[in-house]
Chains A and B, each alone.
Chain A
Amino acid sequence: MMNFLHEFMFTQVPLLALLCNVFLLFTLLSAKKDSSIKAFMGLLVAFILWAGGAFLMRMQMYPDVAFWWKVSLSGIFLVPYMYFLLFSNYTEQKGKFLKVLFGVLTVVLVVLNAYDVFMTAPEVTIVDGVTDLTYDLKLPAVFPVVYAVAVFGCMWRMLSKTLREEEMPVAYLVPLFVGIGLMLLGIAVNTMFTAIPADTMGCALNAVCIYYAFYKKRFYALNQITSKGSMYVVSILITGMTISAIYQPVDTFIMKHLSNTEMNTTLVIAITCSAVAILLFMGLNKLHDGLFIRERMRRDDQVHNFSTAVNSTLKTSEILQRFADLVKEEVATEHMYICMYDPEKGEYTSDVNIQSLEKPLSFRDDHPMMQRLQKNNSGLLYTDFQKTTAYKSMWEDEKQQLAYIHAAYILPFRGEDRIHGFVILSEKQGKKKNYSYDDVNFLESIASVAAIALKNAMLYQVLEKEALLDPLTGLLNRRTLNRRIDEQFEKNATPITLALLNLDDFSLYNELYGSEEGDKMLKQFARMLEQAYGDTAIISRYGGKEFAVLLPFCDALTVKAKTEQVQVLLADYISNSRERIKKFLTFSAGICSYPMSAVNGNQLISYANMTVFQIKQHGKNAIKIFDNSQVNRSEDERHDGGIQELTPTIYALTAAIDAKDHYTFNHSQCVSKYASQLAEHAGLPSDHVEIIQQAGLLHDIGKIGIPDVILTKSGRLDPEEFSIMRQHVERSIEMIRHLPSLDYVIPAVLGHHERFDGKGYPRGISGEDIPLSARCLSIADSFDAMVSKRSYKNKMPVEDALMEIEKNLGTQFDPELGRLFINLVKDGTIEVINY
């Protein structure tokens, strides 16, 4: 039995050492190889030769014991050199000369060993059934010993230099020292107690120690260094070697003790070996999966599931919640604080608080930690950040804030242009407070996934916001308001009141001051509404110049009061304007309440609208609450609307002019006719032609206010009289703007004394800035003035008048329209009226 054990130890221990080294070597095959890893692999090869040679020698494998003996010794000779390479790489020391020198010496030793220079080849002796190997040292054996001492001496010098200069903490080197210690101890034990193969065992333990040292220095992650393929190869090797190792002793054992099964020895061994092989294979597979694959696979699955989940939602809060859940589950952090960028505040504020805080965290872009994050490509260990110069610029409050939440790791959601947000993770629960390499890798992975999802979600939110809001004023748009009205009715937030505010003569405002100024005014008006109605109001831009304000739980009188505030704000704004020309702007507001007046949302809008319409009909610039008695009347009025409704007004006005000054009445008729014909032939749409026709009738309506002495003066007007005469344009506007629904003629009327070269009045605008209708009126007005008899002049012949127009094309008149007018008169399309 003792013999069997002796045999067993001298085969199994070298085999175990060999397998251990082979296993380590294979696991490193898939690691990213740098010079240190390569040096380690070289050392493992030396160990494999050492242990493998010893094992195969002991097994007396082909070709012979001497061959494997030399292989084993070669391995031993290689060890010092490989150690030297490993240490010089590990400690990042230079020394090419020594590398080459020791390399050459090692090769010489190995070659000399092949010729048995250092030892005699072992002889196999069998004493009491125990196989033993005997060999003798030769004198030259002192050379490899001296060589080894020299190499280790250099290594020691290298290490002490490294330690002295403090470039590497001692802790990094401890596993290496322990490994060497075990190896030397093994050799020493083996020398003293030859019955124990401690040298090969020391060799195996040494390899494990080096392996740990590399892991500690984070040359690789343990779960990244092996593959299924390498595992199979290792399994096959182990199985094969185990079979070869146990065959001999088991055969002997069967022959000796189980002679009755002698006939079936081969069969028994084959079955036993197969069973062992299968079990070993399965065991290794399980070990492999358990140690390396399962954890990685599980985390990969987590990342995959997380990716799927967050990419299927466009809600930021949901993404962040999922992220927080996953981090809590996987990393066991004590607390976590998620801060997202708020573009309006220009800072990062805590969004989802897993741990509630007295006040939310906030970080501006110029916060030193943020600046560090922006520079870093990855997350930031807070302890690392504390060592930076940037940390010096932290305020004590900021330091305390981060200390209070035990900040340990800051993980950014990095977008292409900026960091969308970040997570502050506090220390981990349990004994190990620090984040491991694997934790950091995992966190970085999910943060990358989350960053993409967040970017999409934020983009969607921007689009969604754009769809909800009016882009100019930032208020809700009409569609959103309608939805909100429905929501309020569903909530039954009674009373619900709607105010509809319609800016009076806003097209005129645009015409007078330009659309840019008009836009500015709209934005300003929106701010006034927000100021007057407060946070509870749902304010929207309902149409071009129309705003709707919905106030849940608010009665009509309260809303009217608030609307009056808007009136004051607008008046203040207009009167405080520092511009040269005083502007004018008013609004008409209709207010309707549910359930007092309307029965549903549609009626609310409809009745408010109707009230506005009625205000417009009666002089504008007023605020009225809807009265149910209006309903029938308004409906009737609206049926009669349109041009028919306006025609009597226009004729009434022209009749007034006729009464005041007959000539002006005729003139207006003619201008209306000439201008509308010109517009028609210029290709303007019929409604526009109609506007020009009406504008022609009304263009001199302001002359009603001009004193008769000036109006009918036979001589030339003096400058003062001319100045008064010129006021007829503004007077016309003042009159027309109080006419319901006639404000569309104002641009034409206002511009009929403007000149194409900008020298006209009242505004001095030029070219195409003058409305087209005004340019038509201008030509018609001048032509009729020339061809008709006035108190101060006689008629001018039509040809002369046309020549005069032609002469002033491009200066006073629009050249294209003027030329067209001349042609139309010349070919008789426009018939000249004599009066």
Chain B
Amino acid sequence: MRFKDKLKTCQMKEIWDEYCGFLDLNINEYMQIQKRLLAEQIELYSRSGLGQKIMHGEKPSSVEEFRRNIPLTTYEDYADVLLMQRKEMLPGEPVVWLETTWESGSRPKKLAPYTREMLDVYTNNILAAMILSTSEEKGKFKVKNGDKSLYGLAPLPYATGLFPLLIAPEMDLKFMPSLEEARNLSFTEQNKKGFAAAMKGGLDQFFGTSSVVYTITKNFENYASSGGLDPKKLMGISPSMLSRLIKAKYVCDRDKRPIKPKDIFDLKGFVCVGTDTALFRDELEEAWGRSPLEIHGGTEPGCMGTETWNRNGLVFFPDNAFYEFIPREEMLKNEADPSYIPRTYTMDEVIANQEYEIVLTTFKGGAFMRYRPGDMYRCLRTVSEKEGVMLPQFEYVDRVPWVIDIAGFTRITESSIRCVLDRSRLPVGDWFAMKEYNGDKRSFMHFYVELDSETPQAAYLDEQLIKDHFGAYFRHYDHDYKDLKRLLGVEPLVVTILPIGSLKRFEERYGYQIRKINPSMRDVIDLNHMLHEADRTGGGR
């Protein structure tokens, strides 16, 4: 029975229990599902060429053996099989290959295969998220067949591009623009067109990448006028939307405030995907009149976790992947000494207020085992008795420290910066980069550079020149980086020139080198403090 038939014939409680029933599990029941599906995956994996390669012929029979005998993996371990799409090596028959950035510019796109069974789980979990996005209390939701939906997520072959394709067979969600039309449009055009349609016919649900949604929200009046406020474009607008528009215009003129989405739309569901959702949440809620529901996942695991009706923490779907967590200290220890094997903890072993790097084993014939996608989560609480959710809840923190993620679009690493620097031939002596946020809560890369004292032209360079030059090369090198400017209209780079020898002095004073990517805030403060001292004592460039 399809989802739309269930909406017609089943009681609300039945539908809730089927899709969101996992929120009623206790941790033991949750782990029972995890362990059972892990056993299935080990069985499938051990029969495949990839499994033989990754598991080194082992076939663990318990979670303990699994953790003890199977190594932690990164995409490099799979690259030879997955990038060549060697189906015969996989534990399950792939029906679709999704892709995503590996390391911006410096590596090819990562490919991840999905089996039919994985897509079934993906579909159920997306529907669960959709139900929860329209829910404000446990067991109650407002999803209807035929709801009008605006779709602001990256298209295929990115993971989010699967959402509408998976939902379409289950229910008649009216996407704006339609899926057929959207295929021939760029992402920007798709958003504009969808928004214009929403202005005319109304909007029930909104799926979007948080940074894109935030941009749209910030520029709402421009979008609104392109859709309906312009009298020339009132043709074809529905009477109810017309009345809403007139009312909104009147109220906003009266109150002398800009028009907001909530003045025009009565949004039922609002789903946001992306690494910055938590930052924008309050503003988005204020603008749309509904708090966005954050979902998390990735190309490798699919839809991994969702917030609940209270929007205060992600709960991971029990049937999507087997989850392990590396505590931050263990992760750093492993980064400093790659031969050190970090300890992992399962869902029933996590502790509240701890930060963890997630480790995934995909279920249902997926390709990844004990895979480190490079995402950090903080466990907010292990149970929420008030809410009645007896499972750990998380919030997304960021990528792992050695990756700079900007607005969920790009992943910048040390090697990609080195590569761009080489190509740009900028006379840079030393540098480090870190992710920072501006007053608009926009993330950007702050690039701290020391110029090369032995290059004469270094003396003529200033921060703007370096930014333009470096930025131009980066856009050429990394297409995701280019999209940031194109889609969000943001310049994600700030350059600060450090006095020559600053980083060397830092090392001498503190006894260690400052980390190239995302050094700790304490180190940056200490560096600034040291430079101010130098200013006072007459040092510097």
Listed in ascending order, the chain A residues whose CB lies under 8 Å from chain B are 165-171, 366, 368, 383, 387-390, 392-393, 395-397
Contacts and interface: CB of A to CB of B under 8 A. Distances in A.
B8 interface: yes
Interface stretch (B25-33, B206-214, B485-493): B25-33
Contacts of B304: none
B151 to A, nearest CB: 24
A619 B29 CA distance: 66
Contacts of A166: 7, 11-12, 15, 141-142, 144
Given A166-B12, A393-B32, 7 more contacts: A383-B1, A387-B17, A388-B18, A389-B17, A392-B22, A392-B33, A395-B36
Nearest to B25: A389
A410 B21 CA distance: 22
Given A387-B17, A393-B37, A165 B32 contact: no
B24 interface: yes
Nearest to B319: A392
Contacts of B10: 169
B266 to A, nearest CB: 13
Contacts of A395: 36-37, 39-40, 43
Given A387-B18, A393-B319, A395-B36, A165 B11 contact: no
A644 to B, nearest CB: 67
Chain B, interface size category, equals: 20 to 34
B40 A167 contact: no
A393 B17 CA distance: 15
A387 B364 CA distance: 18
B318 A392 contact: yes
B9 interface: yes
A171 B18 CA distance: 20
30 contacts: A165-B12, A165-B140, A166-B7, A166-B144, A169-B8, A169-B9, A170-B8, A366-B36, A368-B36, A387-B14, A387-B21, A388-B17, A388-B18, A389-B17, A389-B21, A389-B22, A389-B24, A389-B25, A389-B33, A392-B37, A392-B318, A393-B33, A393-B37, A393-B318, A395-B36, A395-B39, A395-B40, A395-B43, A396-B117, A396-B364
Interface in B103-159: 117, 121, 140-142, 144
Contacts of B142: 166
A400 to B, nearest CB: 10
B462 to A, nearest CB: 59
Q: Which of A169, A387, A393, A397 has the largest count of B CB atoms less than 10 A from its CB?
A: A393
A411 to B, nearest CB: 22
Contacts of B11: 166-169
Q: Which of A167, A368, A396, A397 has the largest count of B CB atoms less than 10 A from its CB?
A: A396
A383 B8 CA distance: 16
Q: Does more than half of chain B's interface fall in helix, strand or loop, or is it mixed?
A: helix
B21 A171 contact: no
A772 B157 CA distance: 90
Nearest to A384: B14
A120 to B, nearest CB: 48
Contacts of A366: 36
Nearest to B20: A389
Given A392-B318, A392-B319, A393-B37, A171 B14 contact: no
Nearest to A171: B9
Nearest to A167: B12
A582 to B, nearest CB: 38
Interface in B298-349: 318-319
A419 B8 CA distance: 36
Contacts of B8: 169-171
Nearest to A164: B142
Interface in B476-517: none
A166 B25 CA distance: 24
Contacts of B319: 392-393
Contacts of B15: 166
Nearest to B124: A392
A388 B1 CA distance: 15
A168 B40 CA distance: 38
A392 B33 CA distance: 7
Contacts of B33: 389-390, 392-393
A388 B144 CA distance: 22
Closest 5 CB pairs of A and B: A387-B18, A393-B33, A392-B319, A393-B36, A395-B40
Contacts of B24: 389
A4 to B, nearest CB: 50
Contacts of B141: 166
Contacts of B364: 396
Interface in B75-126: 117, 121
Contacts of B144: 166
A168 B319 CA distance: 29
B380 to A, nearest CB: 22
A386 to B, nearest CB: 8
Contacts of A390: 33
Contacts of A392: 22, 33, 37, 121, 318-319
Nearest to B9: A169
A392 B319 CA distance: 6
A368 B36 CA distance: 10
A167 B141 CA distance: 10
B40 A396 contact: yes
